[in-house]
Amino acid sequence: MSWYVYLLKCSDNSLYTGITTDLKRRLSEHNNDNRKAAKYTRARRPVKMVYFELCESRSDAGIREYEIRKSNRQKKLELIASMPIVISEN
């Protein structure tokens, strides 16, 4: 099973970091599902996936998520700038 760490850009321009096994499903949950969306993103919809990385395990994804969360906004924006595509729900 593949794990991903991802960054979302919220409607208020804030950034949210998370992990998942299915990027499109998780993006849809953040935008449409009040039970499965993070409390943070429910209040900041719509959100757009602007960055993701493939990780080898859930543990690796969790470690990388922590690293990204602790990074300053400028470092996160640099990661986003390095991403050639954006994931949409469609």
Q: Which residue has the tokens 């992990």?
A: 19
Looking at residues 21-45, what average pLDDT do you find? 96
Question: What is the CA angle 44-81-63, rounded to 5?
Answer: 70
**At residue 64, what is the residue type?**
R
Domains of the chain: 3-81 (3.40.1440.10)
Model pTM score: 0.92
* Residue entry with tokens 């950034």: 15
3-state secondary structure of 69: helix
Contact indicator for 89, 28 with CB cutoff of 8 Å:
yes
More confident residue, 89 or 28: 28
Provide the 8-state DSSP code for 15.
E
Q: How do residues 50-88 score in pLDDT, each as one tens digit?
A: 999 999 999 999 999 999 999 999 999 999 999 887 667
Q: Has residue 90 got a pLDDT over 80?
A: no
